[in-house]
Amino acid sequence: MRLGALTAGLLLIAGLAVAADVDGKWTGSIQAPDGNQMTLGFTFKADGAVLTGTHTGPDGRELAIKDGKIDGSNITFVIVVDFGGNEMKIDYKGVVAPEEIKLTMNMEMMPQPMEIVLKRAQ
């Protein structure tokens, strides 16, 4: 019985040790339909397996991160954007590395997901 509890405790500690270091500000860009590059910003805060923070769009408006989760180096979260009274949900999932986050952005009106690479902001 003690061995099982010890093993479970060690696995928990090991899992926390490999959790992604996502805290802080990150920036990246995507290509708009008109061909222009749009800069996106994210501020992430990890609290165990919960991810919170904000997203800053090209217009400078900050939106809260919702339903954020961390599982090792994997993250998922949702941004809800208001387009003239119509809400649109944008789903993100990504993989965190020491100096970059590779995100996949999926919106209802986009025919296919979009890839974004975020770098730590200086």
Per domain, the residue ranges of the chain are 2-120
Q: What is the CATH number of domain 2-120?
A: 2.40.128.120
Predicted local confidence at residue 18, as pLDDT: 46
Neighbouring residues of 53: CB distance < 8 A, sequence distance ≥ 6: 42, 43, 44, 45, 64, 65, 68
Please tell me the pTM assigned to this model.
Answer: 0.78
Contacts within 8 Å (CB) and 24+ apart, 57-66: 57/81
Neighbouring residues of 31: CB distance < 8 A, sequence distance ≥ 6: 37, 38
d(CA 30, CA 37): 6
Q: What is the pLDDT of residues 63-105, one digit of tens each?
A: 999 999 999 999 999 999 887 888 889 999 999 998 899 999 9
Q: What is the pLDDT of residues 49-72, one digit of tens each?
A: 999 999 998 888 899 999 999 999
